[in-house]
Amino acid sequence: MLFMDHGKGGTAEVLKPAEGPVPQPQTGEVVIEVRYAGVNRPDLLQRSGSYPPPPGASPILGLEVAGRVSAVAPDVTQWKTGDLVCALTPGGGYAEYCAVPAPHCLSVPKGLSLQEAAALPENFYTVWTNVFDRGHLKAGETFLVHGGSSGIGLTAIQLAKAFGATVYTTVGNAQKAEFCRNIGADAAINYREQEFVVEIAQLTNKRGVDLILDMVGGPYIENNLKSLALEGRLVQIAFLQGSKAALDFLPIMIKRITVTGSTLRPRTVAQKSAIAQDLRKQVWPLLESGKVRPVIHATFPLKDAKLAHELMESSKHIGKIMLEVKTS
């Protein structure tokens, strides 16, 4: 099969087409003939050499795919050869075939294409487990998500709004702000022109928000604490500006703030399977009704994965960046 090799790691230039054996399904797995794969920031980190795959995972990049089930382990009963699915993968998505745990697969939502379905798993698994499971967002609460025009951000805006929250976000320009408002954000703050701490204080009459989802880190950490309400929760899922910060912990005590965070990839098969079950029950109906939708910015042929990575590194995109692996 064809796959994208990143060698020993480095800039996007290291991504080269290569050939290797088709994976065979191990116990509890299916193999998917991949039509589309999503591009995510962890892919960029792994490509650079700073985010090695967990033990036992494929060394090939790619954390989400959609396509046709081509092989099934003998103990798998929920899927059969020929089924169209999307899946969260432990790795291996930038390839014509990818082995994944069967419980991490989801049916392609009615009305969505395989391309759109491939844009779902990484973002929707991440947002569901961090915003709703860990962050406990409820109807009537206020929610701030940083990086609103990213795949994670647009997913969080839509799901939070669908479940009855007031949603604020931060973005880097006016075009992204308008897009986020059109998709459901109650307010979009341009961090290049406005201080989000000041804006959140005004938007909430100095109360603060109930929940913040942050992937920026660095100087945002202390400002997040300032922007939270009594009993507020901060969920950290990445550190684009670094994981270290000098900060005053007093707001945590005074406002009874909960600070937490998580990563998705190292979780067990059972933990990810539980998230998939929640998505199937709570979120797939929203996708099939059109109330929530994936946003795709650009799609590149698999052999042009370098261009996809360069686009993501530029932060000029709004929504998902995809790879077309097979055309038929």
Here the tokens at position 124 are: 């929707």
Q: What is the rounded average pLDDT of the residues 13-30? A: 97
Among 195, 241, 192, CA closest to 215: 241
Q: What is the rounded average pLDDT of the residues 88-106? A: 98
State the pLDDT at residue 59: 96
* Residues written for the chain: 328
State the pLDDT at residue 42: 95
Break the chain down into helix, strand, coil percent, rounded to 5.
35, 25, 40
Among 242, 238, 294, 318, CA closest to 43: 238
Q: What is the rounded average pLDDT of the residues 67-91? A: 98
Convert the pLDDT of each residue in 133-177 to its tens digit: 999 999 999 999 999 999 999 999 999 999 999 999 999 999 999
Here the tokens at position 16 are: 């080269």
Please report the sign of the dihedral spanned by the C-alpha atoms of residue 75, residue 81, residue 86, residue 88.
positive
Label residue 149 left, alpha or beta by phi (over 0 means left) and psi (-120 to 50 means alpha). Answer: alpha
- The position carrying tokens 């009537």 is 140
The residue ranges of DSSP E strands in 135-204, in sequence order, are: 142-145, 166-171, 187-190
State the pLDDT at residue 328: 63
Q: What is the rounded average pLDDT of the residues 86-97? A: 98
Q: What is the rounded average pLDDT of the residues 183-204? A: 98
Q: What is the rounded average pLDDT of the residues 302-315? A: 97
Among 103, 156, 106, CA closest to 129: 156
Asked if the model's pLDDT at residue 323 lies above 90, the reply is yes
Asked if the model's pLDDT at residue 327 lies above 80, the reply is no
| Residues contacting 74, CB < 8 A, separation 6+ | none
DSSP-assigned states of every residue in 13-54: GG-EEEE-PPP---TTEEEEEEEEEEE-HHHHHHHHTSSPPP
| Residues contacting 80, CB < 8 A, separation 6+ | 69, 72
Among 215, 237, 211, CA closest to 225: 211
Q: What is the rounded average pLDDT of the residues 61-82? A: 98
Q: What is the rounded average pLDDT of the residues 232-256? A: 95
Under the banding of pLDDT at 50, 70 and 90, the label for residue 9 is: very high
Cα distance from N-terminal residue to C-terminal residue, the chain: 15
Convert the pLDDT of each residue in 247-277 to its tens digit: 999 999 999 999 999 999 999 999 999 999 9
Q: What is the rounded average pLDDT of the residues 51-69? A: 95
Q: Which domains does the chain have, with CATH numbers?
A: 2-120+265-324 (3.90.180.10), 124-261 (3.40.50.720)
State the pLDDT at residue 267: 94
Q: Compute the distance between CA of residue 157 and CA of residue 26 in angstroms, rounded to an integer.
A: 37
Q: What is the rounded average pLDDT of the residues 288-294? A: 97
Label residue 173 left, alpha or beta by phi (over 0 means left) and psi (-120 to 50 means alpha). Answer: beta
Query: CA neighbours within 13 Å on the CB side: how many for 55?
Result: 1
State the pLDDT at residue 57: 92
Q: Compute the distance between CA of residue 134 and CA of residue 136 in angstroms, rounded to an integer.
A: 6
Under the banding of pLDDT at 50, 70 and 90, the label for residue 288 is: very high
Asked if the model's pLDDT at residue 326 lies above 90, the reply is no
